């Protein structure tokens, strides 16, 4: 059995969500904080969770065009040195953080920016699954 993860790459954190290939219902997994060890932390997750695909939130503006943040995310992905044997897919992440913050606010319980990031990653993964109903990693 394998898992898919999604990454919501922000300025200070990377929200991570996960789903199992046999039951693709994404859930928040964790939030990684920008540090010199973030790559190793991510590699540990990839290994422990037997990840077979990585979906990365792709920021664009409202017109669908790349922005400075798009270039920043692409650069960070390059710096993470993700293993070549795990396919990477890009998924539009329009308004996922806004949606996540609104959802957490509705619940009426305290939450952190990290909670927003991991829930945003969950929305990215859910959007990917819905737009690729027969998805099987290469």
pLDDT digit string, tens, across residues 53-69: 999 999 998 888 888 99
Those residues with Cβ within 8 angstroms of residue 24's Cβ, 6 or more apart along the chain or in another chain: 4, 129
In a domain, 43, yes or no: yes
- Please report whether residue 20 resides in a domain: yes
C-alpha angle with apex 135: 55 to 138, nearest 5 degrees? 75
Range of the domain at 77: 3-131
Q: What is the CATH number of the domain that holds 21?
A: 3.30.420.140
Residue 137 lies in a domain: no
Unique residue bearing structure tokens 């009426």? 108
pLDDT digits (tens, 9 = 90+) for 72-82: 999 999 999 89
Q: pTM of the full predicted structure?
A: 0.92
- The Cα–Cα gap between 10 and 128 comes to 19
For the chain, how many structural domains are there in total?
A: 1
136 inside domain:
no
Residue 26, helix vs strand vs coil: strand
Asked, for residue 56, whether it belongs to a domain, the answer is yes
């Amino acid at each position: 059995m394998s898992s898919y993860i999604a990454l919501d790459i922000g300025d200070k954190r990377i929200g991570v969500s996960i789903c199992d290939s046999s039951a693709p219902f994404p859930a928040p997994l964790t939030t990684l904080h920008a540090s010199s060890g973030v790559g190793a932390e991510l590699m540990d997750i990839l290994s422990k969770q037997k990840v077979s695909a990585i979906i990365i939130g792709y920021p664009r503006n409202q017109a669908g065009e790349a922005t400075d943040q798009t270039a920043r995310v692409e650069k960070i992905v390059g710096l993470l040195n993700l293993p070549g044997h795990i396919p990477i897919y890009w998924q539009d992440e329009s308004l996922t953080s806004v949606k996540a913050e609104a959802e957490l606010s509705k619940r009426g319980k305290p939450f952190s920016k990290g909670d927003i990031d991991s829930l945003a990653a969950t929305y990215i993964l859910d959007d990917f699954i819905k737009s690729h109903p027969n998805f099987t990693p290469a």
